[in-house]
Amino acid sequence: MKKTAILAIYTLILLCGCAKAGTEGTNDAEKRYLDAWIEVNHPDWAAKKVEPGYYILEDIPGTGELISIPTITPYIRTHFRMLDLKGNILSSTHIEDAYKTRSYDPSAFYGPSIMERADNAMYAGIDYAIENMKVGGRRTVLIPGWLMTQDRYNTEQEYLDKVSGSTAIYELEITERITDIAKWEQDSLSRYISRNFPDASYDTTGFYRKVLVPPVGGERFQNDTTIYINYIGRRLDGVVFDTNIADTAKFYGIHSSGSSYSPTQINLKKSYMETTMTSSSTSVITGFKYLLGKMGPYEKAIGFFTSDMGYSSSGSGLTIPAYSPLRFDIEVVDKP
């Protein structure tokens, strides 16, 4: 019997089963469809099912440290590729996939990303799938939609009854195990400073400063002052993700015809934490404000800081991943 005929029969069974919706769990019909899809397209996958309901399709063991449970390894760095059941790429950390899907962005981050596992921050299905992996390991897993949740239950049926989501296939590669994220960031920033700016001064926890051109008169600005600046924002991999300088934006491929490239107004306040950009309501990340609060007329300086003074665990879109130390080059200029 042809695959299309077999799938049609299972689809009919699924539709008939929907007539009993009052007695079914949230995802019972979806589970029957997935089971039918696997039987028709990949019958060998049925034997690869692991409790509570995900499938290990391919496994290349690593030789590094064991990932173990979230309390032992609260963070990991991983390369991943997320696909639908048809093989279409939905999300990926691989730059070649960005070219393949014509979604490449010169300011986007491509590479192993930090994933948080503490306090059930990771989807249950992915967390279960990596728990017994080791650093360096690669694994392809099918995660049913009912395991795409941050909640935790004891059995597959509980997930089926309580969670709805989209089924996906993940190709995972564990590149690093992280037990202390703050130390990991500080170490990353310290290595960057040692390689590139060994004479930069350590100013406060998680912040370094390098003065390129000292302020005229050697004094900082007074409180409640309006100044104008040019700036360039970089990740530690050197990628420029933001600037108000037109030539710089063009050089790094991030120029936008809808943006106005000119010196930016900064409103310095009594406390650097109250500093705003352009208008009184436009907020500025802490590391940027902290550097500005130490600058004076026509000064040019660089600030380097960890993510607790930047975008923290949330990151910023495709450009700044979670827990990213950043670098900002700032020059105080005349009012345009």
pTM assigned to the model: 0.86
Amino acid identity, position 314: S
H helices of 124-264, where? 124-130, 156-162, 181-196, 246-251
Provide the 3-class DSSP secondary structure of residue 175.
Answer: strand
Q: Which pLDDT does position 283 carry in this prediction? A: 86
38 neighbors 111 (Cβ within 8 angstroms): no
Q: How far apart are CA 18 and CA 12, in angstroms?
A: 10
Q: Which pLDDT does position 14 carry in this prediction? A: 46
pLDDT tens for the chain, residues 1 to 336: 454 544 444 444 444 444 444 456 678 899 999 999 999 999 999 999 999 999 999 999 999 999 999 999 999 999 999 999 999 999 999 999 999 999 999 999 999 999 999 999 999 999 999 999 999 999 999 999 999 999 999 999 999 999 999 999 999 999 999 999 999 999 999 999 999 999 999 998 889 999 999 999 989 998 889 999 999 999 999 999 999 999 999 999 999 999 889 999 999 998 889 999 987 778 899 999 999 999 999 999 999 999 999 999 999 999 999 999 999 999 999 998
Which of 189, 266, 257, 261 minimizes the C-alpha distance to 224?
Answer: 266
Q: How far apart are CA 230 and CA 264, in angstroms?
A: 7
Angle at 5 between CA 31 and CA 55, to 5 degrees: 30
CB neighbour list of residue 132: distance below 8 Å, 6 or more residues apart: 66, 67, 68
